[in-house]
Amino acid sequence: MAHHIIELIAQYGLLLVFLNVLVEQAGAPVPAVPTMIVAGALAAADRLPLPGVLAVAVGACLLADFAWYAAGRHFGGGVMRTLCRISLSPDSCVKQSELRFQRWRGSVLLLAKFVPGLSTVAPPLVGAMGLRAAPFALFDGLGSLLWVGVAVTLGYVFAGQIDYVLDAMANAGSIALMLLGTLLGLYIAMKWWQRQRLMKTLRMARITVEELNGAITAGRMPAIVDVRSEAARMVDTRVIPGALVADVKSVDRIVSLVPIDSELVIYCTCPNEASAAMVAKALMQQGYKRVRPLLGGLDAWDAAGYPVDRLPVVVEVEETSAA
């Protein structure tokens, strides 16, 4: 079986490498690293051209990443919310990427492919945040070359051991497949359990957008708090009029600005109002009695046709440090 795998890659060579990398970088759970390692081993045996392997793999990365980048550039936060909803960890998948982007800007692309969950999210994120095409191509190209180079080099250097490893997997037969399937099932079950536990922890009464608008119209203006991250507001500049801009780490700031007896409405744009609910919980622990997350968040408010303001437009990201 091991030799069949190697012969398959040797026969279809560069095309198989290109398609495998392209599909993985598009977001499908089809790992490309094993294919690149075997391709590197075949290059060491002069059965595949090493420059060709590197070129088609990097080209596939750039093609998929530019598609995600363009989607983020043109559709902004909508693409990020879609990725967040289909993620196994929808409450944190984009947030962690936002934090990395705030720290490293476009250079996050240099290491994005080595970080689980960041490879697919990073290109649309930097596109939505205004990174221009030239620096994106530079950073993404270098990051892709680094990622591909590591995998292909491993195969090239350890070419003699690749056959042995594949033989060991083939000899394990159905037991290995069952073990891999069990591990995958356990991983998905753990993520589902973590998700349910989070939702149970954050279960509390929400206020609807109709109720909030009614309170504002009646003159009972509650304190409205936007707890999206700075990066999220760079992507989506909408804000409910009069909202206090904060984030999940700004509970102390909210406490210092909002009287303890106030009614508070907390909103975000994350699935299930997770960030808003966490901030609401923290404020209740500080002594606030009337605090509720906004059901559906900012998207539901805007979709209902209620007024929104716009934060000052952020100047497009300039990677001057790369010059």
Same domain, yes or no, for 25 and 125? Answer: yes
* Residue 190 falls inside a structural domain: no
Residue 144, pLDDT score: 96
Same domain, yes or no, for 40 and 148? Answer: yes
Same domain, yes or no, for 40 and 171? Answer: yes
From first to last of its 323 residues, what are the pLDDT tens digits of the chain? 445 555 666 677 789 899 999 998 988 777 888 889 888 988 888 888 999 999 999 999 999 999 999 988 888 766 666 665 555 444 444 454 554 555 556 788 888 898 766 777 788 888 877 788 999 999 999 999 999 999 999 989 888 776 666 566 556 555 655 766 677 677 667 766 766 665 565 567 899 999 999 999 999 899 999 998 776 787 788 999 999 999 878 899 999 999 999 999 999 987 677 788 889 989 999 999 999 999 999 999 999 999 999 987 543 333 333 33
- Other beta carbons within 10 angstroms of residue 12's beta carbon come to 12
Instruction: Measure the CA dihedral 172/174/179/181, to 10°.
Output: 140
How many Cα atoms sit within 13 Å of 152 on the Cβ side? 26
Query: Does the predicted model carry a pTM greater than 0.85?
Result: no
- Other beta carbons within 10 angstroms of residue 302's beta carbon come to 17
Q: How many domains does the chain have?
A: 2
* Residue 284 falls inside a structural domain: yes
AA letter at 128: A
- CATH number of the domain encompassing residue 233: 3.40.250.10
Q: Is 72 helix (H, G, I), strand (E, B) or coil?
A: helix
* Residue 320 falls inside a structural domain: no
Domain extent at residue 29: 2-178
Same domain, yes or no, for 229 and 170? Answer: no
* Residue 40 falls inside a structural domain: yes
Closest listed residue to residue 243, CA positions, set 219, 221, 218: 221
Same domain, yes or no, for 218 and 287? Answer: yes
Residue 89, pLDDT score: 47
* Residue 201 falls inside a structural domain: no
